[in-house]
Amino acid sequence: MPKFMSSHTMPAGALQREQVDQLAQAAQNDPTVQPYRSFLNLSEGKIFCIMEAPDKQALAAWFQKMKMPCDYITPVELEGERGVVKEA
């Protein structure tokens, strides 16, 4: 399934750890999207997610269903880790 990177901006401190855990659980149990990796700074209200989904629209619909504001969603073409870059 294709990977997509998304950015989310919320008011600083608006999202609590318990809510993050609930969102992660919802993604794990969803038949359409699958979580891959997330980076969060709750005190600044910044969240970056990499998730697998059939397409960009399916992921956008999932974020809307979860009431998670979304700045953008973009397909991942290349993936790097510790200086090694490969096809996604």
Owner of token pair 């600083």: 12
CATH number at residue 30: 3.30.70.3090
As a whole number, mean pLDDT of residues 41-54 equals: 96
- Is residue 67 within 8 Å of residue 61, measured between CB atoms? no
What mean pLDDT is predicted for residues 80-84?
89
Confidence of residue 43 (pLDDT cuts 50, 70, 90): very high
* Owning domain of residue 36: 3-77
Q: What distances in angstroms separate CA 9 from CA 2, 32, 54, 67, 80, one per listed residue?
A: 23, 23, 24, 13, 24
Q: What is the mean pLDDT of residues 15-44?
A: 94
- When pLDDT is averaged across residues 27-43 and rounded to a whole number, the result is 95
**Residues 70-84: b if buried by 16+ CB within 10 A, e if exposed:** beebeeeeeeeeeee
Q: How confident is the model at residue 13 (pLDDT cuts 50, 70, 90)?
A: confident
Q: What is the pLDDT of residue 88?
A: 82
Q: What is the total count of domains within the chain?
A: 1
